[in-house]
Structure 1
Amino acid sequence: MKLSVRFAPSPTGRLHIGNIRTAVLNYLLARKAGGTFLLRLDDTDRERSTEEFAEGIRTDLRWLGLAWDREERQSARFARYTEVADALKASGRLYACYESEDELDKKRKRQLARGLPPIYDRAGLKLTGDEKASLEAEGRRPHWRFRLPNTDPAGGLLAPEPTIVSWNDLVRGDQTVDLGSLSDPVLIREDATPLYTFTSVVDDVDFAITHVVRGEDHVTNTGVQIAIFEALGAAPPAFGHHSLLIGADGHALSKRLGTLSVETFRSDGLEPMAVVSHASLLGTSDAIEPHRHIEELAELFDLAKVSTAPARFDPAELRTLNAKLLHKEPYEDVAERLAALGVGGGATFWEAVRGNVGVLAEARDWWDIATSDIDPVIENAELTARAADLLPPEPWDAGTWGAWTAEVGKATGAKGRALFHPLRLALTGRDSGPELKALLPFIGHPRAASRLRG
């Protein structure tokens, strides 16, 4: 069967670095294997899901270069979920329960007080038809639980399946979940809305998903979902659970994810391939370095390289990676964007400044420094005034700087930092920056003379 993966965000917000990483890992797995990458919008939460967020997710994926082969929306599949739920009800695997949240909470507390695990006691299974009718006459509506294939607290087995569910995880290796330690999960709410645990399985079956790669917070879900796959007579996909991200300080990122969104990265001027490179290599045995094309990352990709230890995300590291990527960018790949920023000078100017930009927009700063009025910084007025007198006539080229500074050195006796630092401050107003042999021809004689004289 052709490899098929899915990325399944909820359109209740924009993509952030946590789910970007999941998207990238799935995308690279599909591309390396020549498989398909499905975008599934999990929009069953009708109150919080919006079309604006759905379009925002598409925009973010397009910007990252993660082209999907197919899109599906869970909100269009309620009839299908009802059909499958009805079949599970008919087989006795989905049963009605009527307890309120408050009643369930009291049950759990009583069980804990008796030294028992707070597992649902399957009281719903014991209700007669008359009792159900009476509860519904009170205005109660049932929620529906999936009966796990484990020992009933009252004794007896539902089926001969073992309590332990196991699988060979693509990232974590052999994994087991003891279904006997879990309550029967609610799959359908009182308002008839299906929950993720259920809808995701139905979708994976219907869309022939072969590999599910997601965060390690879903490991327990996987044990339950494997049981649901089997109840539906379907073979479960291969599962891989990557570690979650933590901050550089070792703490969870959850409260800061809003500031670590694709939207923010884009508005901050980061390059999409810097973000994709970082997301795909973070927490792996490969070095974190910039790659200019997704195909390069797909060649390197292997889930076996993904560590089970929490991956540390540091925004400063991403920005450093972004700068390294730009330092490698050939002019032809940024020419249109530079023109849109109002940066001239062609390849010569770009090659002069690219080693000194962290984001592309900073090239405009250097263009303004080279070609517009600035406030020069005069550190040694005597030296810079003499240097102005010794400026050669134009035209200038890359050799002008060396010949001119040699003359200034002879005339003033200055050398090393004492010579070059005052000249840089006067000509650019900056302590550091591109090599002045490349920048000086763009500054030109009139501006250079004026700046040197302060």
Structure 2
Amino acid sequence: GLDWDEGPYYQMQRMDRYREVVQQLLDEGKAYYCYASKEELDALREAQRARGEKPRYDGRWRPENAKGRTPPAGVKPVVRFKNPLDGEVTFNDLVKGPITFRNSELDDLVIARADGTPTYNFCVVVDDWDMKITHVIRGDDHVNNTPRQINILRALGAEPPQYAHVPMILGADGERLSKRHGAVSVMQYAEEGYLPEALLNYLARLGWSHGDDEIFSMRQFVEWFDLEHISRSAAQFNPEKLLWLNQQYIKTADPERLARDVAPRLKDMGIAPEQGPALDAAVKMFQERAATLRELAEQVSIVYRAAQPGEEALKQHVTEDIKPALREVLQAFEAVGDWNEEAVSQAFNGVLKAHGLKMPKLAIPLRVIVYGTPQTPSLFPLLALSGKARVVAPLRAFLS
């Protein structure tokens, strides 16, 4: 997954620092107490909308507007930043290019609530200042926060970082990505069996490109990444593309690593893989067929648990005319001493030849009886891996 250099830091642990900076702004006359009630502000916005104006705070408690006014008794004030009234804020967005806001369009941001809690948009400014952040890369829904944050930084005597606002991610329907589009958290992707490197690869490629490269390591991404190749248009989240990419990563992953990921999933299914064949060997046999770890665990499970073939599969594939050949396969398997791929192949092929059958005619019924499914990886390596007892028992039980 992603690596990091320091931290993590939690804003709740830095509240004293934020309050210290709020007080600094108050002491320097760059912030002020606002006693306007919620009802007052709601009425103000409603009146502005009725006049066709953009709703915004009107600065009624700015010091120059509140001279001679007595703060109402019993009202706990919020603290607002005293935004400049004139001039412009211009910054060169590293994705969108130059962006300018008139200060007259910006109202005075609340930087501390009535209970004294600093607001998020203020806290991030202090964090950027204290931690000497040079670049802020975030979604373009934060563009409108940027001029306010720049003004606060300048009021503190700090140099603003460079900003890059990347387009939002849309769902397959073209709407802004939300919970209704599927997975609601990164952890849900983990539960569904996506590898972290596949998810990171997909997210990196979403809205950014390096030529036609689709699959790349995090090391390559760090080497290649630049802001110049971020798309200015919104990217669409495609679950099918993510699933395909995850499958490519599973195909090439180290079987031992996949086995460690699959083992707890098997245990959740009531399977103890340590009591059967080596799990990494089983994983290696199935990994090219699975798109997720969840699928891989389901597929590998047939090696470790008794088959439960459905009636429809038995009716379709295990017909009366094939049962004599299956009985001979059982006898041939029971006679095998050293159970390995070559011995299993010879025993099975001997029955094929004796009955003049083609491979699928006998292999599919055997798969259904032993593994509960007509489709498996290459049959002889799978039978050899499963072990003689695991193969012979269901075959004997079905034919008895």
TM range (shorter): 0.7 to 0.9
Higher alpha-carbon deviation: 340-349 or 210-219: 340-349
Distance in structure 2 (CA, Å) of the matches to 1:220 and 1:181: 11
The letter for the 2-side match of 1:432 is Q
Correspondences of 1:228-239 after superposition (within 5 Å): 228-239=152-163
Decide whether aligned partners of structure 1 residues 145 and 366 sit closer, same or farther in structure 2, where only a CA change above 3 A counts. Answer: closer
Tell me whether 1:429 sits opposite 2:372 in the alignment.
Answer: yes
Distance in structure 2 (CA, Å) of the matches to 1:215 and 1:182: 20
Q: Contact 2:91 / 2:98 at 8 angstroms: preserved in 1?
A: yes
Decide whether aligned partners of structure 1 residues 401 and 314 sit closer, same or farther in structure 2, where only a CA change above 3 A counts. Answer: farther
Distance in structure 2 (CA, Å) of the matches to 1:107 and 1:346: 68
Which of the numbers 50, 63, 67 marks the counterpart of 1:113? 50
- Displacement of 1:441: 0.7
Distance in structure 2 (CA, Å) of the matches to 1:116 and 1:428: 70
Number of the residue aligned with 1:442: 385
Distance in structure 2 (CA, Å) of the matches to 1:224 and 1:329: 47
The letter for the 1-side match of 2:157 is G
Decide whether aligned partners of structure 1 residues 364 and 231 sit closer, same or farther in structure 2, where only a CA change above 3 A counts. Answer: closer
Percentage of identical aligned residues: 34
Number of the residue aligned with 1:199: 123
SS of the residue corresponding to residue 71 of structure 1 reads coil
Give me the TM-score of the superposition, normalised by structure 2.
0.79
Number of the residue aligned with 1:281: 205
Tell me whether 1:246 sits opposite 2:170 in the alignment.
Answer: yes
Which of the numbers 247, 260, 263 marks the counterpart of 2:184? 260
Tell me whether 1:99 sits opposite 2:39 in the alignment.
Answer: no
The letter for the 2-side match of 1:120 is Y
> Where in structure 2 are there 5+ consecutive unaligned residues?
267-271
Deviations 1:199-224 (A, max 9, x none): 21122111111111112111110121
The letter for the 2-side match of 1:265 is Y
Correspondences of 1:57-206 after superposition (within 5 Å): 64-125=1-62, 126-131=64-69, 134-136=70-72, 138-151=73-86, 162-163=87-88, 165-206=89-130
Deviations 1:334-354 (A, max 9, x none): 454566654332654332122
Tell me whether 1:329 sits opposite 2:268 in the alignment.
Answer: no
Higher alpha-carbon deviation: 355-364 or 207-216: 355-364
Number of the residue aligned with 1:352: 285
SS of the residue corresponding to residue 202 of structure 1 reads helix
Distance in structure 2 (CA, Å) of the matches to 1:399 and 1:174: 70
Distance in structure 2 (CA, Å) of the matches to 1:300 and 1:425: 49
Give me the TM-score of the superposition, normalised by structure 1.
0.71
SS of the residue corresponding to residue 241 of structure 1 reads strand
SS of the residue corresponding to residue 284 of structure 2 reads helix
Q: Contact 2:282 / 2:303 at 8 angstroms: preserved in 1?
A: no
Distance in structure 2 (CA, Å) of the matches to 1:274 and 1:260: 17
Q: Contact 1:94 / 1:147 at 8 angstroms: preserved in 2?
A: yes
Cα root mean square deviation, aligned: 3.3
**How many residue pairs end up in the alignment?**
376
SS of the residue corresponding to residue 251 of structure 2 reads helix
Question: Which structure's relative contact order is higher, taking Cα pairs within 8 Å and 6+ residues apart?
Answer: 1
